[in-house]
Amino acid sequence: MAWRGVHIAKPARLSFADGQIVINQDDGSIRLPLEDIACLILDTPQITVTCAMLSACAAQGVAVIVPDARHHPAGMLLPFHQHYAQAHVAQAQVETSEPFRKRCWQAIIKAKIVNQAAVVAARDAATAKALRAMAGQVASGDPDNVEARAARAYWGALFDDFRRGNEDDRRNACLNYGYAIARAALARGLVACGLLPAFGLHHRSRTNAFNLVDDLIEPLRPMIDRLVAQHAPDPSTSALSKEDRQTLVGVLTETVWIEKEKLTLLAAVEKIAASLVRAIDAGSAAVLLQPAIDAP
């Protein structure tokens, strides 16, 4: 099983030979077994790659991420048709009923709010208690938008003087970068299970190729939030530093609980994706596994 994310931030030439990615840089050359890599982040425009390497990454199921001029992830290479029952899984996915999708969304948002409570518990016990109470109020489809109420309480407890969406606050840039890395890992897991990332359970945007990713990432977001809070970037600047980016790639090896098993994010997203296939086949949202920050 692939277990590592590779972040390349210096000029390099990447090629493929003997089952390994070959990274040539001014200070030398290294080789990494392709089978160990889940995500490859090419974080500088001074990188050249061979078509053979990209083809090998696609065949192995490696998500290759490329940034824009501000080092924000801008695009991703994912493999086509990796699953033995691709058509069957995709057909079942697009034919899911609205009640099933709403029940899945209920479970997702409840898990997200419970994880938010776990993140702020040490900092603000009262808010954590309120969040746990809110989690119990989430109904099928979250028609009362408990998610938004929880978010207002959560962000105020997690960060001082913080407004989500403020592009001048480096904490937001760090959050968005971490979310993008997690999205890539989750998209990789969904494709490997034969699911179509564009067809969501709740998110249904016609212009979003990753609606399903944006559904399933919700309970994982607090894990990234916690990493950013621990990293404590200076909020007075907006630009991501190299240290920021290298720290946030580490989200791939952060751990969560799936039932009674402690897993890295990379392993967790594969379990979540596989459980969604089973949930669709069973027509039961209860089968969809949810990640937890606190041990069960």
pLDDT of amino acid 120: 97
Which residues sit opposite 31 in a β-bridge? 22
Beta-carbon count within 10 A of 210 CB = 21
**pLDDT tens across 249-293, in order?**
999 999 999 999 999 999 999 999 999 999 999 999 999 999 999
pLDDT range class, residue 38, cuts 50, 70, 90? confident
Q: What is the b/e burial string over 107-120, where b = at least 16 CB atoms within 10 angstroms of the residue's CB?
A: bbbbbbbbbbbbbb
Average pLDDT, the chain: 92
Task: State both tokens at 291.
Answer: 């990640």
Distances (CA, A) of 99 to 96, 151, 212, 280: 9, 25, 16, 12
- Quick one: what percent of the chain has pLDDT higher than 90? 74
**pLDDT tens across 207-231, in order?**
999 999 999 999 999 999 999 999 9
75-84, 126-135, 223-232: range with lowest mean pLDDT? 75-84
pLDDT of amino acid 234: 80
Contacts of 278 (CB under 8 A, 6+ apart): 287
pLDDT range class, residue 74, cuts 50, 70, 90? confident
pLDDT of amino acid 168: 85
**pTM of the entire predicted model:** 0.88
Task: State both tokens at 110.
Answer: 């409840």
- Quick one: what percent of the chain has pLDDT higher than 70? 98
pLDDT of amino acid 78: 81
Sign of the CA dihedral 282, 286, 291, 295? negative
pLDDT range class, residue 100, cuts 50, 70, 90? very high
DSSP one-letter code for 30: E
The closest alpha carbon to 255, from 240, 236, 268, 245, belongs to: 268
Judge whether residue 178 has pLDDT over 90. yes
pLDDT range class, residue 82, cuts 50, 70, 90? low
Domain ranges (residues) in the chain: 4-77, 86-292
pLDDT of amino acid 83: 58
Please compute the mean of the pLDDT values over residues 86-93 and round it to a whole number: 88
Please compute the mean of the pLDDT values over residues 116-132 and round it to a whole number: 97
Most confident of the ranges 136-145, 172-181, 231-240: 136-145
CATH for 86-292 (3.20.10.10, 3.40.50.720, 3.40.50.2300, 1.20.120.920): 1.20.120.920
Say whether 86-292 and 4-77 share the same fold: no
Please compute the mean of the pLDDT values over residues 167-182 and round it to a whole number: 91
Judge whether residue 140 has pLDDT over 90. yes
pLDDT of amino acid 70: 76
Contact criterion met (CB below 8 Å) for 112 and 256:
no
Three-class DSSP category at 36: helix
pLDDT of amino acid 81: 60
Q: CATH classification of 4-77 is 3.100.10.20, yes or no?
A: yes
Determine the Cα–Cα distance for residues 280 and 130; give it in Å rounded to an integer.
32
